[in-house]
Structure 1
Amino acid sequence: MSNSIELKIENNVAWISLNRPEVFNSFNREMAFLLQETLDNCENDTNVRAIVITGNGKAFCAGQDLKEVTDPELNPGFRKILEEHYNPIIQKIRNIEKPIIGAVNGVAAGAGANIALACDIVVATDHASFIQAFSKIGLIPDSAGTFFLPRLIGFQKATALMMLGDKVSAEEALNMGMIYKIYPSSFFEEEVMTLATTLAQMPTKAIGLTKRLLNQSVTNNLEQQLALESDLQIEASSSNDYKEGVTAFVEKRKPEFKGN
């Protein structure tokens, strides 16, 4: 049984750690499939109401393990790597209707950077960095980097970072709107867990519907988005958490959401 992905569940938070620190958590085929399986399990586990993706060791993720793609016996080929490894990971991160935090504890390069940026909320340690490393080896950005990065920081800045492969510090990433917050490395895990626990205690149904709306806003026009907001607001207002939220407001107490 591989331990390239570690999972712990505490306080309704699933903490997923990429665990190949000896190669900076770079992906091989086994780890990619195991991450997909873990995400599926977290989606289906009603005890999980928030998810954290982070890395063990010094790095978040260095992207693809190049030893795998240069080994004639192990190399699955780029089409399989994209269509069977990274594309499903990105789709699962976006389609799971639970909040997902990308907790970048070190360097996030290539596909590793873009997996982080696909998460709902991205936080980083003060020594973390991001790099669109593809052009350094004659490749193009994948793992939805060309989709998310321009939307986060603008077309011009994204173009430059992808073409030049510049290394971006956590502070630079924060200033350009790439990430949400920076936490000092000395208590990074504690801060991330506090954030994740806060999300896990919120109305999970409404959070998930909000995520669906944000996904659809990329392709919807105004009329379509307004119509979808109406439909999903009706759905949210039928939830037990809505009833609890209103009752708690009237009773002037803190709501106790159950996630349904």
Structure 2
Amino acid sequence: MAEVLKVEREGDVAILTLSREERLNALTPRLITELRLALETSVAEGARALVLTGAGRAFSSGADLQADGEDALPEDLGEILGTTYNPLARTLAELPVPLVVAVNGPAVGAGMGFALAGDIVVAERSAYFLLAFANIGLVPDAGATWMVAKCVGRARAMELALLGEKLSAEDAQAMGLIARVVEDGTSLAEAKALAAKLAKGPTRALGMIRKQVIHALDHDFDQSLRMEAANQSDAGFSEDFKEAVTAFREKRKPEFKGF
């Protein structure tokens, strides 16, 4: 059976690469399931930061509409969202460590939704994003509705979803969908460098930060204050905080362990 996902480890960073290059990394139930399990396994095995990218010319062209056999789309598309797409979206949102996404080419449909799940999204200058669902009579999925609307607001989200037009990497950055735009061929190197930096940080606190930000998008100010207090209590008892205080007193850089 052909490989659909490549998993590598560089120190404390796990690099996950969608590897259906001949199909522009089109998504199948098998690929989505393997990605979810690989994310969970990488964290369980001690990875302190993650990188997600695609092989070849694309990040992902979205759901594979031509797949057959076990990977063929069911008659009820809501069913496959419930069993594969949504569990992956939840896993991405609940990761306890930072996720950096390298968008090396088109990120289309659900591929766009999963790309935007990164805490830091790095896109190459020629890459583009496309909510292509309306073009084939479907609605956005993979969390794209929530993510795009929260990032850019109602007017922009409606335009992107209803018109189904390409959004350049530079325009995506300008409207706040992604963090960085880099030259073609450099997104993975940039993502790895960012992930390596994050992996050396207080990753327990970084994991709480990513969840605080997501929580803040859906909760009011007082609820955010309460979550900040709870997390700060947790972080304040961590070994990383103790190390930071000791390093400050000793006038040296802290050596964080992630706990």
Q: TM-score range by the shorter chain?
A: over 0.9
Which whole-Å CA distance do the structure 2 matches of 1:25 and 1:143 have between them?
16
Equivalent residue number for residue 7 of structure 2: 7
* Counterpart AA for 1:178: L
Contact 2:17 2:55 in 1 (8 A): yes
Residue deviations 1:227-246 (CA, integer Å, cap 9, x gap): 11111101001111101111
Equivalent residue number for residue 44 of structure 2: 44
SS of equivalent residue, structure 1 residue 3: coil
Equivalent residue number for residue 82 of structure 1: 81
Which whole-Å CA distance do the structure 2 matches of 1:2 and 1:233 have between them?
46
SS of equivalent residue, structure 1 residue 206: helix
Which whole-Å CA distance do the structure 2 matches of 1:72 and 1:212 have between them?
34
How far is the alpha carbon of 1:39 from its aligned partner?
A: 1.1
Equivalent residue number for residue 200 of structure 1: 199
How far is the alpha carbon of 1:2 from its aligned partner?
A: 4.5
How far is the alpha carbon of 1:73 from its aligned partner?
A: 8.9
SS of equivalent residue, structure 1 residue 218: helix
Contact 2:101 2:191 in 1 (8 A): no
Which whole-Å CA distance do the structure 1 matches of 2:190 and 2:139 have between them?
34
* Counterpart AA for 1:11: G
Residues 257 and 162 (structure 1 numbering): CA distance in 2 closer, same or farther, change over 3 Å? same
How far is the alpha carbon of 1:197 from its aligned partner?
A: 0.4
* Counterpart AA for 2:27: F
Which whole-Å CA distance do the structure 2 matches of 1:25 and 1:258 have between them?
35
SS of equivalent residue, structure 1 residue 199: helix
Which whole-Å CA distance do the structure 2 matches of 1:201 and 1:131 have between them?
34
Measured on the aligned residues, the alpha-carbon RMSD in Å equals: 1.6
How far is the alpha carbon of 1:191 from its aligned partner?
A: 1.6
Greater CA drift, 130-139 or 186-195: 186-195
SS of equivalent residue, structure 2 residue 53: strand
Greater CA drift, 240-249 or 72-81: 72-81
- Percent identical among aligned pairs is 38
How far is the alpha carbon of 1:83 from its aligned partner?
A: 0.9
Contact 2:65 2:73 in 1 (8 A): no
Residues 204 and 133 (structure 1 numbering): CA distance in 2 closer, same or farther, change over 3 Å? same
Instruction: Note the residue ranges of structure 2 that are not aligned, 5 or more in a row.
Output: none
Contact 2:124 2:186 in 1 (8 A): no
Equivalent residue number for residue 57 of structure 1: 56
Task: State the TM-score, normalizing by the size of structure 2.
Answer: 0.95
Greater CA drift, 57-66 or 2-11: 2-11
Which whole-Å CA distance do the structure 1 matches of 2:187 and 2:141 have between them?
28
How far is the alpha carbon of 1:201 from its aligned partner?
A: 0.6
Residue deviations 1:83-108 (CA, integer Å, cap 9, x gap): 11211111000101100112100000
How far is the alpha carbon of 1:11 from its aligned partner?
A: 2.1
Which whole-Å CA distance do the structure 1 matches of 2:71 and 2:256 have between them?
51
Residue deviations 1:49-92 (CA, integer Å, cap 9, x gap): 000110000000011000137x7993334123211121111100
Which whole-Å CA distance do the structure 2 matches of 1:119 and 1:73 have between them?
25
Equivalent residue number for residue 251 of structure 1: 250
Which whole-Å CA distance do the structure 2 matches of 1:82 and 1:186 have between them?
32
Which whole-Å CA distance do the structure 2 matches of 1:227 and 1:39 have between them?
29
SS of equivalent residue, structure 1 residue 26: coil
Count residues in correspondence: 258
How far is the alpha carbon of 1:43 from its aligned partner?
A: 2.4
SS of equivalent residue, structure 2 residue 27: coil
Contact 2:30 2:71 in 1 (8 A): no
Equivalent residue number for residue 28 of structure 1: 28
Equivalent residue number for residue 161 of structure 1: 160
How far is the alpha carbon of 1:177 from its aligned partner?
A: 0.9
* Counterpart AA for 2:203: T
Greater CA drift, 55-64 or 33-42: 33-42
Residue deviations 1:162-200 (CA, integer Å, cap 9, x gap): 000110111111111110001112433222211110111
User: Aligned runs of 1:63-212 on 2, under 5 Å?
Assistant: 63-68=62-67, 74-77=72-75, 78-212=77-211
Which whole-Å CA distance do the structure 1 matches of 2:81 and 2:155 have between them?
26
Which whole-Å CA distance do the structure 2 matches of 1:232 and 1:54 have between them?
30
Which whole-Å CA distance do the structure 2 matches of 1:218 and 1:52 have between them?
24
Which whole-Å CA distance do the structure 1 matches of 2:66 and 2:39 have between them?
25
